[in-house]
Amino acid sequence: MLQIDNLHATVADKPILNGLTLQVNAGEVHAIMGPNGAGKSTLAYTLGGRPGYEVTDGSVTLNGQDLLALDPHERAAAGLFLGFQYPVEIPGVSNVQFLREALNSQRRARGEAPLTGGEFLKLAREKAALLKLDMDMLKRQVNVGFSGGEKKRAEMVQMGILDPAVAILDETDSGLDIDALRVVGDGINAIMRRPDKAVVLITHYQRLLDYVRPDFVHILSKGRIIKTGGPELALELEEHGYEAVAA
């Protein structure tokens, strides 16, 4: 599904990604772990097409399509979802309004008919229930006044509604307490654990992986993947730290 080959990227002319290669197949969950400054968020933003993140070499394809040739909204319509470490607030725009416009925009780009108001609300209620998020929350302005946990749960509802092929989740566990972590983990499994979908979890810690069990764990260092293993690799990192395990 997602194929990254020899990816190099710079931010403000500073090299951050230095030959990163990763293949993510349908039905798989990959966890990417690494110390601060390793390039984890840069990878997420580069895949999402954030301005200022310049690809200098390498290629990325999503289901055979050249991802790097697409604008950010085109990448989303092609099936890529980016979950942010710090979801932004959008004052004056309700979640329901935002999500309906986003979904129908993607459907039009794929040549599909937009959902009616009733069809969308039915879908939104279904996905909100997976994340134990009250529909009244979705009537509020996007992330305005939300706690950290509410922001992450609302973002996972967004993921469920947009129904991507591949989700890149950048430290989704950041700011979550134990109960919220379990709810978000269960939501990721319910939405994305399917044979035709894939997930890349970017995280510092093992704790999210207790709920969303990865097929592969990768250690990222200095912009490259230096070690790959199974779920046990995350446990080793938790116990011994990056330097000892990556040596």
Chain segment 192-206, per-residue pLDDT in tens: 999 999 999 998 888
CA distance 27 to 24: 9
Q: Answer yes or no: are the C-beta atoms of 166 and 137 closer than 8 Å.
A: no
Nearest to 123, CA basis, from 191, 196, 211: 191
**Res. 243: pLDDT tops 80:** no
Domains of the chain: residue spans and CATH: 2-92+165-246 (3.40.50.300)
pLDDT of res. 246? 66
- Model confidence band, residue 7 (pLDDT cutoffs 50, 70, 90): very high
Residues 23-77: tens digit of each pLDDT: 999 999 999 998 888 899 999 999 999 999 999 999 999 999 999 999 999 999 9
Residues 98-127: tens digit of each pLDDT: 999 999 999 998 899 999 999 999 999 999
CA distance 184 to 42: 23
Q: How many CB atoms lie within 10 A of CB 158?
A: 23
Q: Answer yes or no: are the C-beta atoms of 161 and 99 closer than 8 Å.
A: yes
pLDDT of res. 226? 93
What is the chain's mean pLDDT, rounded? Answer: 91
177 CB-near residues (< 8 Å, 6+ apart): 149
CA distances from 221 to 32, 34, 169, 177 (A): 10, 6, 18, 28
Q: At 173, phi and psi to the nearest 5?
A: -80, -5
- Partners of residue 227 on adjacent β-strands: 219
3-class SS of residue 126: helix
Q: Tell me how many degrees the CA angle 112-117-118 measures, rounded to the nearest 5.
A: 105
CA distances from 174 to 85, 96, 148, 150, 157 (A): 7, 24, 8, 12, 17
CA distances from 232 to 24, 26, 181 (A): 19, 22, 20
